[in-house]
Amino acid sequence: MAKKFPEHPKHPERNCWGCDKYCAAGSMNCGNGNVRTQHPVEVLGDDWLEWERGVAEEMVAVQVRRQDEVA
């Protein structure tokens, strides 16, 4: 069973987020290579969950518009 993904870790730079092992950045055991995967909060900012929801809502709206145009 996969571990719960932390939404706002205190020090995301200390871990690799590429799989559910969350290895220390200096000793990755999963075979993910020598470059750690960044946590979404490092890439998108503290509001990364809201950004994701906004994109999903926009995608649904575009799909609805396309369906209306076809009908």
Residue 7 lies in a domain: no
- Domain membership of residue 1 (yes or no) is no
Q: Evaluate whether residue 20 is within a structural domain.
A: yes
Give the structural domain span for 48: 12-70
Is the residue at 3 inside a domain? Answer: no
Cβ(16)–Cβ(36) under 8 Å?
A: yes
Q: What is the SS3 assignment for 48-64? A: HHHHHHHHHHHHHHHHH
Stated pTM of the model: 0.63
Which tens digit of pLDDT belongs to each residue from 26-64?
Answer: 888 877 667 888 998 998 888 888 776 667 677 777 778
Domain count, the chain: 1
